[in-house]
Structure 1
Amino acid sequence: MKELLPAVITIGIDPHKASLTAVALDPTGRQLATRRVTVNAGTYKTLMGWAGRWPQRRFAVEGANGLGRGIAQLLAANGEDVVDVPATLAARARLLDTGGTRKNDPADAASVAHAAMRHKRLRPVIAEDHTTQLRLLAERRDDLAGERVRVLNRLHVLLRDLIPGGAPADLTAAKAAALMQGLRPLTATDACRRDLARDLLNDVRRLDRQLAANEGQTRQALAPTRSTLTDIHGVGHILAGKVLGHIGDITRFPTADHLASYIGTAPLETSSGERRRHRLNTTGNRQLNTALHTIAVCQARDPGPGRVYYLRKIAEGKTPAEARRALKRRLTNVLYRRLFKDQQSRPTRTT
């Protein structure tokens, strides 16, 4: 007689800043137990002491990239089976189960577990590795670059009032220093402008140093991944780090079409009558979409297969913007294949 495998218990977790609530459900959806745990240094030990009675278990954490990141990462790092349940999906599960919107922590945790039992394509939570570091570094670089632009714009305004003709559009710290070297303010107000310009120049130099350090950190974090993304024309270490950081485990996307939907490079049809048109998809991961746009601009400009494809789309009657969108969609396929091949070639997961 064939031996029956033990049933898998689903444990839904509703996280908060100061506490989390866990509810265990059997495969039929019957509630087995509930536990509220205070968030502190002993949270994981307390939770596992309670959940240890069910050897065959799976955890479902609401918002594993938000408030639930801490407990989700602790569980994943210790080899537990963990899935991320979006808050909107848990809310829909609660509405279907109860027919109302009234809520409390145990009900929310049970809804998270119900959603995990019914939805077969939830994102598994994976212990943080070099791709997480790359994402953090990419986000930090975006912040630094944005601040540098703001500082340079303010410096431009001051130099416009201090120097006849103002400063060039491609202003750098070196150019600003050369322009300010011979400044002789004629009024107290101009002296104030000069002093503020010096402060802003120091800010630009500081941001340049931080951006250079960020690039070095990105190269260092990218090395263990052994990624071949930089072999693609238009992809440098910074863009490769951003792509890897935001995509993470490529196997969570069943096909390149799923990746294109996630990035927002799958065009939306806006046809009318006999006129067939597609427009830009403004949904999806905008950071990845921006990275794909940069790669597409480089490939459309420089000789190579990307430019050949771009010109062919232009010859078909598409506008330059539409041709770039088509190229971005084609590049998504290239990225998917390259990332999948790179991940398969790594013998073990980097940590």
Structure 2
Amino acid sequence: MILIGVDPHKSSHTAVAVDAAGHQVAQRRFAVNAGTFRQLMRWCGQWPERRFAVEGAGGLGRSLAQQLAASGENVVDVPSTLSARARLLATGGDRKTDAKDALHVAQVALFRHDLRPVVQEDQTTILRLLTERRDDLVHERTRVLNRLHAVLRDLLPGGAPTGLSAGKAAALMKGIRPVTATDNCRRDIARDLLAGLRRLDRDSAAQFAAGSGVLAR
């Protein structure tokens, strides 16, 4: 069984193959382009019995790790903290290189049996992404709404009521008649905030519809 460690970067991926004892048997650097995965698989074809270890399979290595998983390859994720620790423990104090990093990734995967297997992304992943996006929109809407409340407090006697919505804010703002240049500025800011609030409401509704569509499939 050959274990292939991959040190991924934006412009290149470096792969190092090690045997069962952790000794390097081959290495190859691949420029990142449309043919990277095909070139990697052609190079790895010499080892029918193989496993892959990708550093940061949830980060820079996500795309490659997902391609490998989708092709039925056995892949594990090596956290950068573990590969960095292996690098520090390596003897000789040699200069850091991508090839050495890939070697350490492979060696970590060879001797650690608690690494997370990489599985192909599916509808569960899509739902998680949509949920995270909708949470971001909700937090941003709350921030904008609080800011709009604060501005309207200085424009309206008694300020805006609780339970403010875009529609209620628009109705309140129709009655605002600024007297000073400062109040004119406040009204302009309130209009911008109202426009942002409406956009966030639309985006949140779209995210909810997208999530419902995924569940219905």
User: TM-score, length-normalised on structure 1?
Assistant: 0.59
Map of 1:233 onto structure 2: none
Map of 1:248 onto structure 2: none
Does residue 98 of the first structure (1) align with residue 91 of the second (2)? yes
Map of 2:13 onto structure 1: 20
**Gaps in structure 1 of 5+ consecutive residues:** 1-7, 225-351
Structure 1's 99 and 164: CA in aligned 2 closer, same or farther, altered over 3 A?
farther
Between Structure 1 and Structure 2, how many residues are aligned? Answer: 217
Map of 2:82 onto structure 1: 89
Letter matched to residue 43 of structure 1: T
Q: Which has the higher strand share?
A: 2
**How far has the Cα of 1:99 moved from its partner?**
6.5
**How far has the Cα of 1:102 moved from its partner?**
4.4
Please give the alpha-carbon distance, in whole angstroms, between the structure 1 residues aligned to 2:167 and 2:202: 13
Please give the alpha-carbon distance, in whole angstroms, between the structure 1 residues aligned to 2:85 and 2:193: 51
Map of 1:220 onto structure 2: 213
Deviations along 1:245-280, whole A, 9 cap, x unmatched?
xxxxxxxxxxxxxxxxxxxxxxxxxxxxxxxxxxxx
Provide the secondary structure at the position in 2 that maps to 1:120: coil
User: TM-score, length-normalised on structure 2?
Assistant: 0.94
Provide the secondary structure at the position in 2 that maps to 1:61: strand
Does residue 80 of the first structure (1) align with residue 82 of the second (2)? no
Provide the secondary structure at the position in 1 that maps to 2:46: coil
**How far has the Cα of 1:100 moved from its partner?**
4.5
Does residue 66 of the first structure (1) align with residue 59 of the second (2)? yes
Provide the secondary structure at the position in 1 that maps to 2:154: helix
Residue range with higher mean Cα deviation, 154-163 or 49-58: 154-163
Map of 1:47 onto structure 2: 40
Please give the alpha-carbon distance, in whole angstroms, between the structure 1 residues aligned to 2:82 and 2:214: 34
Please give the alpha-carbon distance, in whole angstroms, between the structure 2 residues aligned to 1:99 and 1:153: 58
Please give the alpha-carbon distance, in whole angstroms, between the structure 1 residues aligned to 2:43 and 2:178: 73
Please give the alpha-carbon distance, in whole angstroms, between the structure 2 residues aligned to 1:153 and 1:170: 11
Identity, in percent, stands at 65
1:177 to 159, 170, 179: 170
**How far has the Cα of 1:171 moved from its partner?**
1.8
Provide the secondary structure at the position in 2 that maps to 1:194: helix
Provide the aligned C-alpha RMSD in A. Answer: 1.6
Provide the secondary structure at the position in 2 that maps to 1:171: coil
User: Which residues of 2 match residues 1-351 of structure 1 at below 5 A?
Assistant: 8-98=1-91, 100=93, 102-224=95-217
Letter matched to residue 174 of structure 2: Q
Please give the alpha-carbon distance, in whole angstroms, between the structure 1 residues aligned to 2:27 and 2:216: 44
Deviations along 1:313-341, whole A, 9 cap, x unmatched?
xxxxxxxxxxxxxxxxxxxxxxxxxxxxx
Letter matched to residue 214 of structure 1: Q
Please give the alpha-carbon distance, in whole angstroms, between the structure 2 residues aligned to 1:169 and 1:19: 54
* Aligned partners of 1:94 and 1:101 also within 8 Å: no
Deviations along 1:105-138, whole A, 9 cap, x unmatched?
1111010001101111111111111112112212
Provide the secondary structure at the position in 2 that maps to 1:98: coil
Please give the alpha-carbon distance, in whole angstroms, between the structure 2 residues aligned to 1:95 and 1:200: 51
Please give the alpha-carbon distance, in whole angstroms, between the structure 1 residues aligned to 2:97 and 2:126: 35
* Aligned partners of 1:44 and 1:74 also within 8 Å: yes
Please give the alpha-carbon distance, in whole angstroms, between the structure 2 residues aligned to 1:102 and 1:88: 18
